[in-house]
Amino acid sequence: MNRRLLLLVTLLAALALVLAACGGGGEEGSAPTETAAETGGAAETAAPTPVPEQKEEAQQQTGQSLLETVKARGKLICGVNQALPGFGYLDQSGNFAGFDVDFCKAVAAAIFDDPNAVEYRPLTAQERFTALQTGEVDVLFRNTTWTLGRDTSVGLDFGVVTFYDGQGIMVRKADNITSMEDLNGAAICVQTGTTTELNLADQMRARGLDYEPVVFEDADSTFNAYEEGRCDAVTTDKSGLVSRRTVLQNPDDHVILDVTLSKEPLGPAVLQGDPIWHDVVMWVVFATIQGEEFGITSQNIDDFMNSEDPNIRRFLGLEGDLGTSLGLTNDFAYRVVKHVGNYGEIYDRNLGPDTPFNLPRGLNDLWTNGGLLYSPPFR
Amino acid sequence: MANTPLPVEHARPPFWRDERVLAVIAQIIFLIVVIVTAVYLFNNAREGLAQAGLTPGYDFLRLRAGFDIGDSIISYTSDDTYGRAFLVGIVNTVRVAIIGIILATILGTIMGILRLSPNLLLRGIATVYVETIRNTPLLVQLFFWYTAVMLKFPRVRQAIALPGPTYLSNRGLAIPWIEPLDGFRIWFGFFIAAFVIAYIVYRVQWTREDRTGQTSYPLTSALIAWIIVVIAGWFFAPGQPFTITRPELAGLNFEGGTVLAPEFAALLIGLVVYTGAFIAEIVRAGIQAVDKGQREAATALGLSTVQSLRFIILPQAMRIIIPPMTSQYLNLTKNSSLAFFIGFPDLFAVSTTIQNQTGKALEVISIVMACYLTTSLLTSLFMNWYNQKVRLVER
């Protein structure tokens, strides 16, 4: 009797396993196709695979641009950060705000004449590229560094920089550290798995400096250890340092060194292989820059409507067909500046002197002021 | 008619009702299911990698790592390979595990004995300790030890000066340390040999005492032998083997000596305190499982409480304690992977960095699993061997 019972149990267990394997197999059977679509989109966009998830991409390849899809949908889906004050975050009333978020609004304003026709998707650093590859978002404005690898093997298209950033180092004022050389023998807090961890190692090694890296899993632990005095310095993107400094107990006790460990050009990313959509996003950003160069702001733009300057008339869509050739309306630049403002306004609103960050323009100033912002001509 | 053959239906049931056949079939089915699942998962992973254009392989271990590791007892720079970085992680994990196991055993044994103490205060302390520690998550405790204890020590400039000179700050404990010179390797050989020789001397003297009944001072003799060999090594070594450097505050940090990092200390304390609570319960159970008559007999013989514990109770309790103790040792080793969250570069933390920088997720995880498995199996082997040694010999 006992053995029979044992046998029964064994058989039932075997049956359960078979069922579980089938069930699991079914689930996993569908999962790989999804992954296939994603990675296919990433590595080899050209490979046409008859998978439903990839239909949207396939359409793009056969000629229909994402621009048409967005227009038909009536709103833009924008991938943003929700945890970086100044760039992408939720404000007190629970709305998305920040420097990157304003550029989402600019794109929406150009297409729909309505800066609020945007659906925001908060994404983590790991999720962001997959979200773009699978078509979950139309464009990514999420402090993303433009690198060759991301432009090619990750399957994205960059092309314009909204914020020239660089890796920086923050120290305590009381320590009288002014250069990298003063950091010899220092303990430096850094977050794991970032390019900053590698840049730091390279820079210290190149200068022959000795240091103790204290590596943490997330930004909160990293900055907490720095604040408690475990480390003499903490390193990440400069914009991140500025943003994080505002939430330290005594922000004025800390200073960001005037050295840059690496180049971190941040800009919007779209999926590779859709030149029409790529052009739209690029030229909306250029419109904000060109607007500032012309001195056109959201306040005074209507005064410029009577301008005799052919350059300004073309920019505002009063002459020529620049906008329609992009697939937009002729007055797209007018809409962008009117609703969201020029680059300088966007910058000042989110990062300028009236904000807690008070971030100097630096490289993010017009080329005429010694910065790197330079829009190709609207012609 | 006594020899009539059995009726047909009793001779042999059909195979689907034959238990022996069914048992074999069930096992075959089970085996097939396991194999099919394994093959499916393997192929799934391989296809996924192929579609992403990734070729699995372990060649990356020979590439330059490019990142630094803060706390290492073997030499390592960012110019070393990923393989070397792994080794640093393994050494750090083993270091925490060995020291942790020793300390947790001591703490657990003391607490386990105290839980049975007739003294109300001692018993109360032990009970509170066990019940608090055992019933809160280890990760929470590690955060407590790191952020609420270690990081709250004075900053490096206000370091507490202790005799030695040693300094305590939230950068860790800076202590004097030896700095190897030319003759260090040869002297170190003597240093290791000294332990072996001391052990042999101890055995010889102990056997003699046991056999002849003469007092032979085995422990003292062993100690003297050890000292003689170590000093002999000093003379045989070409040049001075090492000097002692003292920590001094220079610039931003202490220079000279060595520093026990707060991350290491927090992890070690956390693991020891946590595992110690479980060990205390095992020890208590082991002691209580020894027959009451044994203790009474010991008292009747005139042994003190300590003596009866040392010579009567603990040796018997040991046989019950060892097997569950083994699994606590394994737990301690595996729990050390939580070091990741408090910034100590153990095997898991280092592997996370490597995985992020190389993108070789499968390969890195397989290495990590193999390392923990090896460590655990070695621990088990050792404990099983010890268990064999102390178990009751039945005649």
Contact B74, A62 (CB under 8 A): no
Answer yes or no: is A28 within a domain: no
What is the chain A residue with the closest CA to B78? A201
Nearest-Cα distance to chain A for B132, in Å, is 26
Does A43 sit within 8 Å of B79, measured CB to CB?
A: no
- Tell me whether residues B67 and A7 touch, CB distance under 8 A: no
Interface check for B346 against chain A (CB to CB < 8 A): the answer is no
> Quick check: B30 and A10 CB within 8 A?
yes
Is residue A310 included in any domain, yes or no? yes
Whether A179 and A231 share a structural domain: yes
| Domain final residue pick, A264, A284, A311 | A264
DSSP-derived letter for residue A187 is E
What interhelical angle do A99-112 and A275-294 show, nearest 10? 110
**Could you say which of B52, B170, B252 has the minimum Cβ distance to residue A39?**
B52
Tokens at residue B215, please? 């007092």
Contact: A185, B68; criterion CB under 8 Å = no
Q: Which residues of chain B have pLDDT under 50?
A: none
Contacts of A95 (CB under 8 A, 6+ apart): none
Place of tokens 């064999």: B388
**Separation CA B334–CA B339 (nearest Å):** 10
For residues A271 and A254, membership in a common domain is answered with: no
Residue B55 in contact with partner chain A when CB distance is under 8 A: no
Is B64 an interface residue toward A (CB < 8 Å)? no
Report yes or no on B308 lying in a domain. yes
Chain B contact for A370 (CB, 8 A cutoff): no
What is the per-residue pLDDT for A150? 76
Measured CA to CA, the distance from residue B393 to residue B395 in angstroms comes to 6
Strands A211-216 and A186-191: parallel
Chain B residues with CB-CB distance to A193 below 8 A: 352-353, 355-357
Instruction: Give residue A29's pLDDT.
Output: 36
| List of chain B residues whose C-beta atoms are within 8 Å of the C-beta of residue A227 | none
Cβ pair A14:B33 closer than 8 A: yes
For chain A, say whether B88 makes contact (Cβ under 8 Å).
no
- Domain assignment present for A196: yes
Q: What is the pLDDT of residue A24?
A: 39
Residue listed under structure tokens 């003759």: B183
CA gap B294, B209 in Å, rounded: 27
A62 and A155 co-located in one domain? yes
pLDDT score at B172: 87
3-state secondary structure of A231: coil
The kind and range of the H/E element at A267 are none
B142 with B101, same domain: the answer is yes
Q: Is the peptide bond before A115 cis (omega within 30 degrees of 0)?
A: no
- Cβ contacts of B77 on chain A, cutoff 8 Å: 205
Q: CB–CB of B363/B354 below 8 Å?
A: no
Q: Hey, are the CB atoms on B253 and A184 less than 8 Å from each other? A: no
Same-domain status, A95 and A232: no
Whether A215 and B23 lie within 8 Å, measured CB to CB: no
φ, ψ (nearest 5 deg) of residue A282: -60, -45
Find residues 269-308 of chain A whose CB sits inside 8 Å of chain B.
none
- How high is the ipTM of this complex? 0.77
Low-confidence ranges of chain A (pLDDT < 50): 1, 17-62
Domain membership of residue A70 (yes or no) is yes
Chain A environment of B252 (Cβ under 8 Å): 175, 183-187, 232
CB of B48 closer than 8 Å to CB of A32: yes
Place of tokens 């026990």: B260
Are A193 and A255 found together in one domain?
yes
Q: Specify the DSSP element, H or E, that contains A104.
A: helix A99-112
Is A293 within a domain? yes
**What pLDDT, on a 0 to 100 scale, did the predictor assign at position B54?**
64
B29 CA to chain A: closest CA distance, Å?
A: 7
- Tell me, yes or no, whether A377 lies in a domain: no
Per-residue pLDDT at B237? 78
- Do residues A207 and A66 both lie within one domain? no
The Cα B178–Cα B73 span in angstroms is: 13
Contacts B250 to A, Cβ<8 Å:
185
**CA separation for the pair B274, B135 (Å, rounded):** 10
Q: Judge whether A262 and A167 are in contact, CB under 8 Å.
A: yes
How many C-beta atoms lie closer than 10 Å to residue B326's C-beta? 18
Both A260 and A179 in one domain: the answer is yes
Cβ distance A327 to A375 under 8 Å?
no
Inside any domain, residue B58: no
What's the confidence (pLDDT) of residue A194? 67
Is A4 in the B-facing interface, judged by CB distances under 8 Å? Answer: yes
Residue B32 tokens read as 């097939």
Same domain, A242 and A113: no
Rounded Cα distance between B141 and B225, Å, is 44
| Interface contact A200-B357, CB threshold 8 A | no
Residues A222 and A289 in one domain: no
pLDDT score, position A40 = 34
A333-342 pLDDT per residue, tens: 999 999 999 9
- Distance CA(B170)–CA(B167), nearest Å, equals 10
Give me the domain span that covers residue B14.
7-51
Residues A58 and A72 in one domain: yes
Q: Is A210 touching B (CB cutoff 8 A)? A: no
Residues of A with CB below 8 A from B48's CB? 32, 35-36, 39
The answer to whether position B190 is within a domain reads no
Residue A189 shares a structural domain with residue A132: no
Of the residues A33, A176, A207, A214, the best mutation for testing chain B's interface (the one with the most B CB atoms within 10 Å of its CB) is A214
Question: Where does residue A75 fall: left (phi above 0), alpha (psi -120 to 50 degrees), or beta otherwise?
Answer: beta
CA atoms of B343 and B267, how far apart (whole Å): 10
Chain B residue with minimum CA distance to A196: B67
Residue-number span of the structural domain to which A201 is assigned: 166-264
Tokens standing for residue A281 = 């996003």
Identify whether B104 is part of a domain: yes
End-of-domain residue from the set A215, A238, A264: A264
Residue A183 lies in a domain: yes
Classify burial at A164, counting beta carbons within 10 Å of its beta carbon; exposed 0-12, middle 13-18, buried 19 or more: buried
Tell me the chain B residues in contact with residue A202 when contact means C-beta distances shorter than 8 Å: 66, 78
DSSP letter at A269 equals B
Phi, psi of B14 (to 5 degrees): -60, 155
The CATH number assigned to the domain holding B323 equals 1.10.3720.10
Cβ distance of A21 and B263 shorter than 8 Å: no
Which chain B residues are Cβ-neighbours of A204 within 8 angstroms? 68
Model pLDDT, residue A144? 85
Report the number of distinct structural domains present in chain B.
2
pLDDT of residue B51: 64
Q: What are phi and psi of A255, to 5 degrees?
A: -135, 140
Chain A partners within 8 Å of B260 (Cβ) = none
Is residue B294 within 8 angstroms of chain A, CB to CB? no
Cβ–Cβ contacts within 10 Å for residue B306, how many?
Answer: 9
A167 to chain B, closest Cα gap in Å: 16
Residue contact A185–B345, C-beta within 8 A: no
Minimal Cα–Cα distance from A176 to chain B, Å? 10
- For residue A110, the distance in angstroms to the closest alpha carbon of chain B comes to 36
| CATH number for A130 | 3.40.190.10
Of A232, A264, A296, the residue at which a domain comes to its end is: A264
**Which of B259, B323, B29 lies closest to A214 in space, CA to CA?**
B259
Contact B147 A228 (CB under 8 A): yes
Note whether residue B354 is domain-resident.
yes
The answer to whether residue B166 is domain-embedded is no
Contact A96, A327 (CB under 8 A): no
DSSP secondary structure string for all residues of A338-377: HHT--HHHHHHHHHSTTSSS----GGGSBGGGTSSB-PPP
How far apart, in whole angstroms, are the C-alpha atoms of residue A317 and residue A329?
8
Among candidates A7, A21, A184 on the partner chain, residue whose Cβ is nearest the Cβ of B26? A7
Contact call for residues A107 and A277 (beta carbons, < 8 A): no
Give the CA radius of gyration of chain A.
25
Task: Tell me the two tokens of residue B31.
Answer: 């085996």
The pLDDT assigned to A96 comes to 94
Of all residues in chain B, the one with the smallest CA distance to A215 is B343
- Secondary structure of chain B in HEC code, one letter for each residue: CCCCCCCHHHHCCCHHHCHHHHHHHHHHHHHHHHHHHHHHHHHHHHHHHHHCCCCCCCHHHHCECCCCCCCCCCCCCCCCEHHHHHHHHHHHHHHHHHHHHHHHHHHHHHHHHHCCCCCHHHHHHHHHHHHHHHCCCHHHHHHHHHHHHHHHCCCHHHCEEECCCEEEECCEEEECEEEECCCHHHHHHHHHHHHHHHHHHHHHHHHHHHHHCCCCCHHHHHHHHHHHHHHHHHHHCCCCCEEEECCEEECCEEECCEEECHHHHHHHHHHHHHHHHHHHHHHHHHHHHCCHHHHHHHHHCCCCHHHHHHHHHHHHHHHHHHHHHHHHHHHHHHHHHHHHHHCCCCHHHHHHHHHHHHCCHHHHHHHHHHHHHHHHHHHHHHHHHHHHHHCCCCC
Is A3 domain-assigned?
no
A195 near B CB under 8 A: no
By Cβ distance, the residue of A7, A32, A202 closest to B22 is A7
| A100, A172: one domain | no
Please compute Rg for chain B using Cα positions: 29
In a domain, B188, yes or no: no
- Round to the nearest angstrom and report the end-to-end CA distance of chain B: 52
Q: How many domains does chain A have?
A: 2
Phi (first) and psi of residue B81, to 5 degrees: -90, 170
CA distance B136 to chain A (A): 21
CB B132 within 8 A of CB B283: no
B31 touches chain A (CB under 8 A): no
Q: Is residue B106 part of a domain?
A: yes
Q: What is the pLDDT of residue A41?
A: 34
